[in-house]
A and B are shown apart, each in its own frame.
Chain A
C-alpha cells in the first residue's frame, strides 16, 4: 500500500531561484495539505487543496503557490527563494475524515 510519495527527497537551490516540489497522495485520498517545518519547530501549515482548488491558506506570502491535478497529486511552488525558506517541506493527504498521512518530506536548502 503506497503511502504519500514526495519528490525530490533533497534539493539545494540558490537565493532568488524557483523550486517545485511534488506530492502523490495515498490511494483513496482526495485532499492534500502542505507544511513547512523549520529545524526544531512544529510543521507550519502552508495551504490545502481539495477538488483542485486552494481551500485553506496559512500565513505564507504569495511566493508560495500550489496546484492540485485531477488525479489528486499536487505541486508546491516557491518563487524568489530566500535563505529562510530552507526547511523540510511535508505533504499530507487525507479524505477529510480521519487522520492525515504524511510523506517523508523534501529537504530544501537555499544557499
Chain B
C-alpha cells in the first residue's frame, strides 16, 4: 500500500477554513485518496474520498493535485467540534483494498 505523510499538528481559528495537507507520492493509478477523522475515544469517521477530480460534500472539500501525489482536505468554516485527528489514506476501491492509517494530523480549532 502507498504510504501517506501528514503534518503532526495544525491550529485553525474558529470560522476560518482549515486546510489539511497530505503527501502520497507513491500512489498507484487505481488507488483512491480517503480522509477520515477521529474525535477522542470514538471510532474514525469517514469524511470524503476521490480519485483524481476534486470532490465536495456536506462535510468538506478534497483537492487532489493533477499528478495525484498530494491532496488537501478543506473544512470551509471550522468549528470547535472539528477538533480531531485527521487521517489521509490511499487504497484501491475494492474489497481487497485495506486501509493503512498513519498517525494523522491533530487539528485544534481555537475560539
Contact = CB atoms under 8 A, between A and B. Distances in A.
A99 B49 contact: yes
B95 A50 contact: yes
B26 interface: no
B57 to A, nearest CB: 11
Contacts, number: 68
B42 A104 contact: yes
Nearest to A58: B98
Contact of B43 (A44, A96, A98, A103): A103
B103 A101 contact: no
B105 to A, nearest CB: 11
Contacts of B98: 33, 45, 48, 56, 58
Contacts of B34: 99
Interface in B54-95: 85, 87, 93-95
Interface band, chain A:
20 to 34
Contacts of A43: 44, 101
A33 B93 contact: no
Nearest to A51: B95
B45 interface: yes
Contacts of A35: 101
B43 A45 contact: no
A45 B102 CA distance: 10
Interface of A: 4, 30-31, 33, 35, 41-45, 48, 50, 55-56, 58, 88, 90, 92, 94-105
Interface of B: 34, 36, 41-49, 85, 87, 93-104
